[in-house]
Amino acid sequence: MTAATQKKKKAELEKELDSALEATFPASDAVSIDNAISDAPDRPVGRRPAPIDRNLVDALAREVARKKGAGINRKPG
């Protein structure tokens, strides 16, 4: 690759990066000039949320309140 070709490629890349930056501003996401899009889900489709144990949540809340010196009068239910 000649120096002129490298310089041109660098200029094109800079232009693409500038364009991508303008398109994402003022978002905090990283700038990307890659157009690859995946059709795969971010998580397994069949995955379900973990069950929530209300008694455990209440016990932990009481413990946190006790440590903070506050009182929680939540009724189980």
Give residue-wise pLDDT tens across range 9-38: 888 888 888 887 777 766 665 656 666 667
What's the rounded Cα separation, in Å, for the pair 18 and 74?
54
Q: C-alpha distances in angstroms, 1 versus 12, 13, 17, 44, 65?
A: 15, 16, 22, 44, 68
3-state helix, strand, coil in the chain (%, to 5): 50, 0, 50
Element containing residue 58 per DSSP (H, E): helix 54-68
Q: Could you say which DSSP state residue 51 is in? A: P
Q: What is the pLDDT, as a whole number, of residue 59?
A: 95
pLDDT: which is higher, 76 or 38:
38
Task: Round the average pLDDT of the chain to a whole number and report it.
Answer: 77
Q: pLDDT grade, residue 53 (50/70/90)?
A: very high
* pTM, full prediction: 0.31
